[in-house]
Amino acid sequence: MKSTARNILTNCSYSLLNSSILNLENENIVINEFSKTLQEFPS
């Protein structure tokens, strides 16, 4: 029983970690696109 609970907690932690990493990657894409857009404007 203990090991099952630990497995569930581990799985939850990993999926949280994975979704955090995905969110970070998405934010980086948004930031990159935004800076590209800014560079297209004459300064």
Residue with tokens 């569930």: 8
**Whether pLDDT at 42 is above 80:** no
Q: What local confidence, expressed as pLDDT, does residue 19 receive?
A: 92
Report the C-alpha gap between 12 and 1 in whole angstroms: 17
Q: Count the helix, strand and coil residues of the chain and give each as a percent rounded to the nearest 5.
A: 90, 0, 10
Q: pLDDT tens across 2-21, in order? A: 789 889 889 999 999 999 99
The confidence band for 41, taking pLDDT boundaries of 50, 70 and 90, is: confident
Supply the pLDDT for residue 43.
Answer: 62
pTM of the model: 0.57
| Nearest CA-CA partner of 32 in 42, 20, 21, 24 | 24
Domain boundaries, the chain: 1-37
Q: How remote is the C-alpha of 16 from its chain's centroid? A: 9
Q: What is the pLDDT of residue 1?
A: 65
